[in-house]
């Protein structure tokens, strides 16, 4: 009778261990999901603020380039550093790159300045994205087309 009791207790103990392991795994999955949702929420909240600040940054950068003012240069560098710390990066665009509708927006089509249809001739306005790839503002570009 004692052996049967020990077997039952061992089975109960194994069952409880399995339940505990599943509960801990479920808790860990929940914790990870909540953390990811929190990060997404912070990114969405940041998105609205960043969208409103980018035009100001563009104006400061343009003013600095035209005036070559050292004070404005410092402000632009600080602003760039703050964007970088927030996980926001510039979308790099080079003349000759192929147009990509996911990260570019056409603002002008020209029949000179390119080799193949869809080649980017120039960047008109800098685009920005989060490091994870979420586009904040597509790069506004001028694109070559033989059929204008």
Q: pLDDT (tens digit, 9 = 90+) per residue, 34-48? A: 999 998 888 888 888
CATH for 89-148 (3.90.1300.10, 3.10.580.10, 2.30.22.10, 3.40.50.10860): 2.30.22.10
Residue pair 102/129 in contact by the 8 Å Cβ criterion: no
Task: Supply 85's token pair.
Answer: 């710390």
Adjacency order of strands within the sheet including 139-144: 104-110, 139-144, 120-125
Q: For residue 148, what pLDDT is reported?
A: 53
Q: For residue 25, what pLDDT is reported?
A: 95
Work out the burial of residue 43: count CB atoms within 10 Å of its CB; fewer than 13 is exposed, 13-18 middle, 19 or more buried: middle
pTM of the shown model: 0.71
Task: Quote the CA–CA distance of 148 and 106 in Å, as a whole number.
Answer: 13
Q: For residue 86, what pLDDT is reported?
A: 87
How high does pLDDT run on average in the chain?
89
Domain ranges of the chain: 89-148
Q: For residue 79, what pLDDT is reported?
A: 94
The answer on pLDDT for 142 being more than 90 is: yes
Three-class secondary structure of residue 42 per DSSP: helix
DSSP 8-class letter at 90:
E
Instruction: Label the pairing between strands 88-91 and 135-137.
Output: unpaired
| β strands within the chain, DSSP E | 88-91, 104-110, 120-125, 127-130, 135-137, 139-144
The answer on pLDDT for 114 being more than 80 is: no
The answer on pLDDT for 96 being more than 80 is: yes
CB neighbourhood size of 75 (10 A): 16
Task: Quote the CA–CA distance of 108 and 121 in Å, as a whole number.
Answer: 10
pLDDT band at 90 (very low <50, low <70, confident <90, very high): very high
Q: Is 66 left (phi over 0), alpha (psi -120 to 50) or beta?
A: alpha
């Amino acid at each position: 009778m004692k052996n049967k009791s020990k077997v039952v207790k061992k089975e109960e103990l194994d069952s409880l261990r399995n339940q505990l392991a599943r509960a801990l795994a479920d808790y860990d999955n929940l914790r990870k999901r909540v953390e990811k949702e929190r990060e997404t929420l912070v990114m969405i909240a940041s998105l609205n603020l960043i969208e409103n600040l980018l035009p100001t940054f563009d104006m400061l950068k343009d003013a600095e380039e035209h005036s070559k003012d050292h004070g404005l240069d410092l402000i632009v560098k600080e602003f760039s550093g703050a964007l970088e710390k927030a996980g926001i990066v510039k979308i790099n665009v080079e003349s000759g790159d192929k147009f990509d509708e996911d990260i570019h927006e056409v603002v002008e089509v020209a029949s000179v300045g390119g080799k193949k249809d869809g080649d980017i001739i120039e960047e008109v306005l800098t685009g920005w994205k989060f490091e994870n790839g979420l586009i904040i503002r597509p790069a506004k570009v001028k694109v070559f087309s033989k059929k204008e």
